[in-house]
């Protein structure tokens, strides 16, 4: 077996899911084209920037996008609302900009003096024909923050499964293949599998690949819902007063009077 073949050898497979353990920059050239890439790369300004290795978040993402572009018609990148959007200038014209989605956190969290109310998903690529989705493509999701981590998931920055459930249901179609080249603990893969999509994940850390594999191995729940209700179904105009009330309470606890 040549080293190149070895690099593209799956670490884990189960019906509908394949996980590669290794450097995405070395594995991506050997993968077949996919329908959609949904990824949560190492963000600029994240406190976990060392996860991007020697290259750093900007260079790692730039090189990965070059490899991803010929393999897909659509790319969805999840970033924090405090991540520099110029990070995405590296996405080429072949993947035109489509929409920005606000992935709202309920409740928001304080990061320094910023009330971190949302993550953002930038959608690039070909428009979605009506026949493909047969639904209106909304651009806001309300996800309840997780109070606890899943048992055994000690990834430093796992995404909320509700966000990935929403993105996959809105921006992919049944039977399509979703690739996450920085899959971490496998949130994208779990959501894709649950929704009847095929999933491919890559992560450089074996421990995270093991967590992702564990999540994809679990049989779907029959009578129990393992996650908190995925989305809050309330009219969006309720949100500003709720957030304002929350900010005032947080401020008062910190001795700040926000009038």
Contact call for residue 82 and ligand SAM (CB under 6 A): no
Q: Which residues contact 215 (CB under 8 A, 6 or more apart)?
A: 150, 153, 185, 186, 187, 189, 190
Q: Where are the alpha helices (DSSP H) in the chain?
A: 3-7, 24-27, 56-68, 130-133, 161-171, 187-194, 206-217, 239-253
Backbone phi and psi for residue 11, each to the nearest 5 degrees, phi listed first? -85, -35
- Convert residues 143-172 into a mask of x (bound to ligand SAM by CB under 6 A) and - (unbound): ------------x-xxx-------------
Residue 52 interacts with ligand SAM (CB under 6 A): yes or no: yes
Residue 80 contacts ligand SAM per CB under 6 A = no
Whole-Å CA distances, 88 to 79, 91, 93, 248: 10, 6, 12, 34
Closest to ligand SAM by CB, 154 vs 244, is 154
C-beta of 198 vs 215, nearer to ligand SAM? 215
User: How many residues lie near ligand SAM (CB under 6 A)?
Assistant: 22
Residue 166: count other Cβ atoms within 10 Å of its Cβ: 22
| Cα separation, 166 vs 121, whole angstroms | 11
Q: Which residue number, 53 or 107, has a Cβ lying nearer to ligand SAM?
A: 53
Q: C-beta of 111: minimal distance to ligand SAM in Å? A: 16
Q: With respect to ligand SAM, which residue has the nearer C-beta, 207 or 254?
A: 207
Binding site for ligand SAM (CB under 6 A): 23-25, 40, 42, 51-53, 60, 155, 157-159, 182, 184-185, 187, 202-205, 208
């Amino acid at each position: 077996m040549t080293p190149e073949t070895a690099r593209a050898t799956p670490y884990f497979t189960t019906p509908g899911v394949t996980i590669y353990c290794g450097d995405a920059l070395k594995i991506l050239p050997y993968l077949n084209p996919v329908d959609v890439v949904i990824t949560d790369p190492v963000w600029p300004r994240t406190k976990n920037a060392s996860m991007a290795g020697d290259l750093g978040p900007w260079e790692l993402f730039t090189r990965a996008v070059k490899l991803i572009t010929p393999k897909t018609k659509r790319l969805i990148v999840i970033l924090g609302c405090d991540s520099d959007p110029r990070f995405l200038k590296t996405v080429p014209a072949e993947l035109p900009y489509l929409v920005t989605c606000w992935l709202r956190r309920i409740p928001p969290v304080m990061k320094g003096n910023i009330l971190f109310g949302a993550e953002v998903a930038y959608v690039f690529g070909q428009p979605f024909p009506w026949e493909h989705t047969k639904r209106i493509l909304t651009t806001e999701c309300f996800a309840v923050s997780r109070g606890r981590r899943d048992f055994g998931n000690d990834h430093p920055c796992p995404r909320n499964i509700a966000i990935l459930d929403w993105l996959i249901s809105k921006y992919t179609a049944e039977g399509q293949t979703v690739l996450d080249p920085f899959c971490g603990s496998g949130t994208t893969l779990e959501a894709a599998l649950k929704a009847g999509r095929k999933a491919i994940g890559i992560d450089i850390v074996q421990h995270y690949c093991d967590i992702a594999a564990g999540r994809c191995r679990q049989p779907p729940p029959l009578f129990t819902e393992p996650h908190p209700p995925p989305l809050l179904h309330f009219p969006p105009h309720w949100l500003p007063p709720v957030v304002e009330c929350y900010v005032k309470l947080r401020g008062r606890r910190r001795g700040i009077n926000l009038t």
